Amino acid sequence: MVEHTDNVNLSPDGHGSGSAAKERLGTRIHRKIFAGNRFHKVLIVILAVLAVVQYGYKVISDQSLADKAAEEQQAVVDGCQRALAAQVEELLRVTTVSLAWATNVGLTHGDQLGVTQEITRLVREKYVTSIAVVDENGLVVTSTNKKWEGMPADNVPGATPVTSELVVRRVDDDFVVVAPMLSHEEQRLGAVVLAYSAATVKDRLVNFARVTK
């Protein structure tokens, strides 16, 4: 009877040599990378640098996208602000023309007190900062700012020059509308100067942002 036995490679202590082989392989790899071969060291450095560069590029790309989004948002805000400012100017033109017509009628009939009461009422409206009435001689005949009364129109910010055409000027943080008062013969009898705070534009933008959220 022939007895068959498996050919097993045993280590001197009787155990398989598999774990020892793995340890030797790991040692050889470690030496190749960290001890003997300069190429592997350089390769590791290059890979590390590439990883840092890739991370830096990602950070820069993210920041660029954020900056671009901020620029686009600011462009939208600026566009809305210009559109609202133009709308406010148009409304002020209509309002001040009507006020100039009513003021002209009142002064023609000698009702300066009525004119003063009307502009005093209007200046209580939000954003209206001042109203002055200038006569044909360039003097302030009545105003919500009593310091201007009897003074040349030059003392009223944005009032001069007074022309036969309605103009809207920006003075500091105000829209200043100068609406001429004309006779039936188109002769200038004076002007109404209304100052309106430009803060209305910012407030409208804030309200618009709330509505669109």
State the average pLDDT over residues 167-187.
84
What confidence score (pLDDT) does residue 142 get?
94
Structural domains in the chain plus CATH codes: 89-206 (3.30.450.20)
Q: Do residues 177 and 166 lie in contact, with contact meaning Cβ atoms separated by under 8 Å?
A: yes
State the average pLDDT over residues 19-23.
66
What confidence score (pLDDT) does residue 163 get?
83
Q: Encoding tokens for residue 149?
A: 């009364």
What confidence score (pLDDT) does residue 59 get?
67
Question: What are 105-121's pLDDT values in tens digits?
Answer: 888 888 989 999 999 99
Question: What are 68-88's pLDDT values in tens digits?
Answer: 766 766 676 666 767 777 777
- The more confidently predicted of residues 12 and 146 is 146
What confidence score (pLDDT) does residue 71 get?
72
Q: What size, in residues, is the chain?
A: 213
What confidence score (pLDDT) does residue 85 get?
73
What confidence score (pLDDT) does residue 89 get?
81
**CA pair distance 51, 96, nearest whole angstrom:** 67
Among the residue ranges 1-10, 26-35, 60-69, 161-170, the one predicted with the least confidence is 1-10
What confidence score (pLDDT) does residue 134 get?
94
Res 191 pLDDT > 80: yes
What confidence score (pLDDT) does residue 107 get?
87
Res 135 pLDDT > 80: yes
